Every structure is written in structure tokens, then in C-alpha cells.
């Protein structure tokens, strides 16, 4: 009888240890959470995000001045669409369909069509290549997952500007030769829901504008809210293509 009880006890211990081992094996690391989000976008073939950007300046003449920009970004296959609302500066809609780019400024009625060069993949992100920054595993070394009381989780990393080149270039846009901007002290917080799906990303950093040799320091914060992660958004061809002015090949 004692042997049977002992055998049952040992079997129970082995079972518990086995279950614990399986649970530990399935527990995602900080890099694992990020990789899962990248996989979700890749499997869907696209992603949509709402972005709110706030820029403030440290310059004495511009102290207290704050600029806000709202954006909706869609990527699906070889199509992308970015709608940018800059307040009084107006709204700009840029749509890429294959090797064609359509730029619309609804308030001014401007419509322009550009042909993208053969190396357009370097100029315009699309589909599974777009939306999320491409971060290496080394960046997540010794980074702990923060467990929140509501069951959500978050991961904070401190990337270099080159790690977020695709995101930062999208924010600054085409600045021209006389205006450049550099970034420093970057911090990115990735927020995951209770099912380990990426819900949003918060980006904070310092920035310095250089305008014809004059430096203007400031701070930037951006909030990226993912929309229906795991589903590629629909991106339609603009209406009335004949109304678009032909601008030739696009040159950044």
C-alpha cells in the first residue's frame, strides 16, 4: 500500500514539474513579445496605426511653442497610405500603389502624381516590411517585462537613432538640404494587451534642428496606436486619376 502511495506521490511531483517546465518554455521574453508583434504584421501582410506627435522647443525665442501632428498610416502589400493632419498647415494624403505615388492636399486642391524609381523599395515601406521598427535581439538584453495590474505588459528599450531610422524618417519627412535634424536619448515603450498582442508604442527623445547652421533644440514624443493588428487595411486607388498633375519621377 505504501509503495502505491509513494509511486502516486512521485508521479504527481513529476507531473507538476513537467507542467511548470512547459509553462516556463512558453513564457515570452521581452524580445519574444516584440518578435510576436513583427510576426503578426508579417502574417497579415500589412498594418495600420494612428500616430500623435508632439514637438516642443528649448530655444529661448521658441520656448513654450508646441507643435502637434496627427497621422494615420496604412501599409498593405505593395500599397501604403499616410494621412497627415498638421492643423492650420492642412492635411496631406500620400498614397503609394505599386510604382506610383499620389499626393493630395485637399484644402488647396493640389493633386500630384509621381512615378517611383526602380529602387523605390528604399524610399517607401510597404506591407510586412513597414510599420514596426526593425530591432535586433541585443537591444533587449537584460530588459525586463513589466507586468501591469490589469493583465497588460510593457517593455521599454533604449534604441539608437539608426535603430529607428524608418520611423524617424517618416516623422521628419523631406527636410531639404538646408534643414537637418538629429535625435538623441531615445526611449521606446511597447505596450502589450492581456493576450500579448502589441497595442501601442510610446516614443520619447531629444532632437536638434539645424537650419542653415543655426541649431534649435527640442523634445519629441510620439504615440503609435495599432489598429486591428493582424489584419491588413484596405487601401483604395485615389478617385479621378485624370485630375492629378504629372510630376515625373519622384526624387527625394
Torsion of CA 244, 245, 247, 248, to 10 degrees: 70
Q: Look at residue 210 in the predicted model and tell me its pLDDT.
A: 84
Cα–Cα distance between 71 and 50 in angstroms, integer?
6
Between 139 and 86, the higher pLDDT residue = 139
Which pLDDT score is estimated for 178?
Answer: 61
What pLDDT, on a 0 to 100 scale, did the predictor assign at position 126? Answer: 46
Q: What is the pLDDT of residues 112-165, one digit of tens each?
A: 999 988 765 554 554 444 567 889 999 999 999 999 999 999 999 999 988 887
In three-state secondary structure terms, 231 is: coil
**Average pLDDT of 194-203?**
94
Alpha-carbon distance of 89 to 119, in angstroms, equals 31
Exposed (0-12), middle (13-18) or buried (19+): which is 207, by Cβ within 10 Å?
A: buried
Query: What number is the average pLDDT over the span 216-240?
Result: 90
Is the pLDDT reported for residue 203 higher than 90? yes
Whose cell is 500599397? That residue is 79
Contact 51, 224 (CB under 8 A): yes
- Rounded CA-CA distance 61/86 in Å is 22
Residue 237 has pLDDT above 50, yes or no: yes
Are 74 and 131 in contact by the 8 Å Cβ rule? The answer is no
**Domains delineated in the chain:** 31-241 (2.50.20)
pLDDT above 60 for 65: yes
Query: 56 vs 156, which has greater pLDDT?
Result: 156
DSSP 69: E
Looking at the predicted structure, is the pLDDT value of residue 41 above 60? yes
Averaged pLDDT, 222-227: 94
Please tell me the distance from the alpha carbon of residue 162 to that of residue 183, in angstroms, as a whole number: 10
- Which of 5-9, 130-134, 180-184 reaches the highest mean pLDDT? 180-184
Q: Cα–Cα distance between 129 and 134 in angstroms, integer?
A: 9
Helix (H) or strand (E) holding 36: helix 30-44
- b/e for 179-205, b at 16 or more Cβ within 10 A? eebebeebebebbbeeeeebbbbbbeb
pTM over 0.95: no
Percent of the chain with pLDDT over 70: 77
Amino acid at each position: 500500500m505504501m509503495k502505491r502511495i509513494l509511486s502516486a506521490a512521485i508521479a504527481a511531483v513529476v507531473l507538476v514539474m513537467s507542467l511548470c517546465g512547459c509553462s516556463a518554455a512558453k513564457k515570452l521574453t521581452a524580445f519574444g513579445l516584440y518578435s510576436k508583434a513583427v510576426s503578426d504584421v508579417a502574417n497579415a501582410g500589412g498594418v495600420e496605426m494612428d500616430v500623435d506627435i508632439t514637438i516642443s522647443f528649448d530655444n529661448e525665442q521658441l520656448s513654450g511653442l508646441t507643435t502637434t501632428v496627427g497621422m494615420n498610416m496604412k501599409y498593405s502589400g505593395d500599397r501604403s497610405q499616410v494621412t497627415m493632419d498638421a492643423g492650420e498647415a492642412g492635411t496631406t494624403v500620400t498614397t503609394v500603389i505599386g510604382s506610383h505615388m499620389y499626393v493630395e492636399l485637399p484644402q488647396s486642391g493640389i493633386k500630384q502624381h509621381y512615378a517611383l524609381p526602380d529602387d523605390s523599395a528604399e524610399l517607401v515601406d510597404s506591407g510586412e516590411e513597414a510599420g514596426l521598427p526593425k530591432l535586433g535581439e541585443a537591444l533587449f538584453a537584460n530588459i525586463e517585462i513589466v507586468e501591469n495590474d490589469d493583465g497588460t505588459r510593457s517593455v521599454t528599450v533604449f534604441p539608437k537613432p539608426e535603430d529607428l531610422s524608418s520611423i524617424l524618417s517618416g516623422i521628419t519627412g523631406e527636410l531639404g538640404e538646408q534643414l537637418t535634424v538629429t535625435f538623441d536619448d531615445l526611449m521606446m515603450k511597447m505596450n502589450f494587451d492581456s493576450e500579448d498582442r502589441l497595442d501601442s508604442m510610446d516614443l520619447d527623445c531629444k532632437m536638434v534642428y539645424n537650419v542653415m547652421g543655426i541649431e534649435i533644440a527640442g523634445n519629441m514624443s510620439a504615440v503609435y496606436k495599432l489598429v486591428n493588428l493582424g489584419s491588413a487595411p484596405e487601401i483604395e486607388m485615389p478617385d479621378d486619376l485624370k485630375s492629378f498633375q504629372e510630376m515625373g519621377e519622384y526624387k527625394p
